[in-house]
Amino acid sequence: MQPLDAEQTQARQWFEHLRDLICAEFEAIEREAGSEAAFDYTPWDRADPSGAPGGGGVRGVMKGKVFEKVGVNVSTVGGTFEGDFAKSIHGAAENPRFFATGISLVAHMTNPHVPAVHMNCRFLATTKRWFGGGADLNPPLPEPHDTQDFHAELKAACDAHGADYYDRFSAWAEEYFRIPHRGVNRGVGGIFYDHLEGDFAANFAFTQDVGRAFLNAYPRIVRRRMNDAWTPEDEAAMLAWRGRYAEFNLVYDRGTLFGLKTGGNIDAILMSLPPRAIWA
């Protein structure tokens, strides 16, 4: 992989810093619940199809009392897209060389009343440079207060950068996080954005604020719900819902496809899958 330039370095460093902040907060929640669970970090290297070094990343997974399974991954990869896949990537049809760095997080919770969550932010460079990402809440048993709280934090982040950002990106999340073959949405939404290009500093600042909004909102929701009592029926509903989540990630998710097509670490790519699920 070629040496990183200033923009690529800034993005990579932020995603790694955000990972550290999030993991520390999640471990603090485990301590509050009387658990000593901690993240287990596994570094991995990637080889480009040409045989040259292609970057890599670190897979972080914690299995605890509150977080049944949470993965927080960071990666920085580069090289050349193979075959026709380049045509599907913004700016890569003209030249298949690429760079990508980002953070990806999925949390599946022990208590059915604590919503699962997904967050991803990334910076890509082909013949164009852009940011993408977002966050979405995935409760097996939705609570309006949690949904409103989560959306309010994301809206505040959006409003600070663009008057139309929240309306555009929340609608995009509603469209993207849908399971067409089930005719249902994966969760209660959030925001999703992609191909945010042009002004690196402005777009980077927005992406940082998305990460901070997630960090402000989600741990608060976890602490609010993690001691709620639940029934066997609640757990069964959660496990069935997790089956739908797995279907989306394996059939429709762009991040899963990107990781597989670029030779990423399989365990890191599939860390989004729940530890347990049922299908009727």
Which residues participate in catalysis according to the annotation? 118
Residue with tokens 């301590």: 31
Mark 236-249 as b/e (b = at least 16 C-beta within 10 Å). eebbebbebbbbbb
Measured CA to CA, the distance from residue 201 to residue 23 in angstroms comes to 26
Residues in the chain: 280
Pick from 104, 87, 105: nearest CA to 96: 87
The C-alpha angle with vertex 206 and arms to 201 and 209, in degrees rounded to 5, equals 125
Phi, psi of 60 (to 5 degrees): -115, 125
